[in-house]
Amino acid sequence: MWGSPSRAARRSNRFDAASGNAALTATLRGLSEGVTRVKLLTKRYNQSTKTQTAHQNLFNAIENGDANAAERLAKAHVLEFRAIILNQLMQESTW
C-alpha cells in the first residue's frame, strides 16, 4: 500500500504537513534533516563489510535468543557508530 519505507515516510510527512500543525511539521522536518545528515556522514561505514558483519552477528544473536550477546554487540556497534559521527562532525567544524 505505502511502497518502500522511504516513500511511506515522505507520504506521511506530506500528510502531517497538510494537517496545518506547524509544530509537528517543524519537528518532522528537523528529524528528517538530522537523519539525512547522519546517513550522509555514515554512508561509507554502513556499506562496509565490517558493518554488514556486525549487523549479521547482531541479527544472529537476536534470532538465537542470546540477549547478552545481542546487548554487547548492539552497544559496541552504537559506540563505534557514534565515534565515527563525532569524528566527522569535528572535522566539519574545523573548516
For the whole model, what pTM was predicted? 0.56
Q: What pLDDT, on a 0 to 100 scale, did the predictor assign at position 23?
A: 85
Q: What pLDDT, on a 0 to 100 scale, did the predictor assign at position 70?
A: 96
Task: Give yes or no: residues 18 and 52 share one domain.
Answer: no
Task: Give yes or no: residues 29 and 56 share one domain.
Answer: no
Task: Give yes or no: residues 56 and 12 share one domain.
Answer: no
Give the per-residue SS3 of 70-86: HHHHHHHHHHHHHHHHH
Q: What pLDDT, on a 0 to 100 scale, did the predictor assign at position 91?
A: 82
Task: Give yes or no: residues 31 and 59 share one domain.
Answer: no
What's the total number of domains in the chain?
2
With a cut of 70, which residues of the chain have pLDDT below it? 1-6, 8-9, 13, 16-17, 94-95
Task: Give yes or no: residues 54 and 25 share one domain.
Answer: no
Is the CB of residue 91 less than 8 Å from the CB of residue 83? no
Task: Give yes or no: residues 25 and 55 share one domain.
Answer: no
Task: Give yes or no: residues 10 and 56 share one domain.
Answer: no
Q: What pLDDT, on a 0 to 100 scale, did the predictor assign at position 88?
A: 80
Question: What is the span of the domain harbouring residue 52?
Answer: 42-95
Task: Give yes or no: residues 76 and 61 share one domain.
Answer: yes
